[in-house]
């Protein structure tokens, strides 16, 4: 029973207040300690989110505790379809470390498998009715490439095949760069076509020079704008013909 304050000496009142405040402080400290001690138990309740498809755009359809054993069923690029033998969902390889039950060696194996090769395949579509494909692979500090072009514009059709080198000229950021490429090969002109020679049809020796601005959208995919000039000679190097086209080039790493 707390006596009314008016009937107590001032000293006793102060003592009472101090006791109450000390009790409050101790109580708050106990409460904070309890919170802090209980924090690890919250962390152990981590959930792994799995999606309905291999991409961030697909909705999250499953959440499983990090302690639940999951097994990889299949892979698509950097995404794994995991199952707990009842449900399944997709998870990005970079989030696999959150799975407590996945052995470390298996985790690294799964991550290593997502790394792509260094060879590349490019597709080309340009002005002058040009389209084609290109294969490239690294060689020392450059890339060697083999390029097949075709221009099927009615009766004036021609094709070309070149082998050459591609090297980075300059780099603006990690994703934007300018490359040059040079190669040698031949141009084939179909019968009736006069794009390369008005006198003859057939094969002509040729060189290819190009400059491209490349945008690395992802480690496995690049888009580039390329200006490419093909030069061919005919009649024992007496006739010189040149054609230039502007092209869109999309490259995938395999």
**Per-residue mark of binding to another protein, 156-175 (x: CB under 8 A):** -x------------------
**Per-residue mark of binding to another protein, 207-226 (x: CB under 8 A):** ----------xx-xx-----
Place of tokens 């179909």: 190
CB 115 → another protein: shortest distance, Å?
A: 12
| Side-chain half-sphere CA neighbours of 79 within 13 A | 16
135 sits near another protein (criterion: CB under 8 A): no
Please identify which residue in 3, 69, 138, 152 interacts with another protein, judged by CB under 8 A: 152
Question: Residue 254, SS3?
Answer: coil
Strands 176-189 and 156-171: antiparallel
Please identify which residue in 135, 161, 180, 250 interacts with another protein, judged by CB under 8 A: 250
Contact region for another protein (CB under 8 A) — 2-10, 39-47, 122-130, 232-240?
Answer: 122-130
Strand partners, 216: 222
Strand partners, 184: 163, 207
- Asked if residues 83 and 99 have their Cβ atoms less than 8 Å apart, the reply is no
- Asked if residues 201 and 235 have their Cβ atoms less than 8 Å apart, the reply is no
Residues forming the site for another protein (CB under 8 A): 52-59, 61, 72-80, 105-106, 108-110, 112-113, 121, 123, 125, 129-131, 133, 150-155, 157, 217-218, 220-221, 250, 252-254
């Amino acid at each position: 029973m707390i006596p009314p304050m008016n009937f107590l000496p001032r000293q006793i009142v102060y003592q009472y207040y101090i006791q109450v405040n000390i009790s409050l402080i101790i109580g708050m400290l106990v409460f904070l300690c309890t919170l802090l001690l209980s924090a690890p138990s919250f962390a152990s309740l981590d959930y792994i989110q799995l999606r309905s498809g291999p991409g961030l755009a697909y909705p999250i359809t499953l959440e499983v505790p990090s302690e639940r054993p999951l097994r990889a069923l299949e892979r698509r690029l950097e995404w794994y379809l995991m199952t707990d033998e009842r449900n399944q969902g997709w998870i990005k390889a970079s989030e696999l470390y959150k799975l407590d039950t996945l052995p470390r060696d298996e985790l690294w194996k799964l991550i290593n498998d997502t790394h792509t090769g260094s060879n590349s395949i490019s597709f080309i579509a340009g002005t002058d009715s040009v389209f084609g494909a290109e294969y490239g692979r690294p060689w020392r500090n450059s890339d060697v490439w083999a390029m097949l072009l075709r221009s099927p514009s009615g009766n004036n059709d021609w094709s070309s095949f070149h082998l050459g080198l591609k090297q980075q000229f300059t780099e603006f950021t990690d994703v934007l760069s300018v490359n040059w490429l040079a190669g040698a090969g031949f141009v084939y002109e179909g019968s009736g076509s006069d794009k390369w020679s008005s006198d003859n049809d057939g094969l002509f020796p040729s060189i290819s020079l190009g400059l491209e601005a490349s945008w690395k959208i992802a480690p496995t995919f690049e888009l580039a704008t390329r200006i490419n000039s093909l030069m061919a000679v005919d009649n024992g190097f007496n006739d010189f013909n040149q054609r230039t086209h502007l092209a869109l080039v999309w490259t995938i790493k395999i």
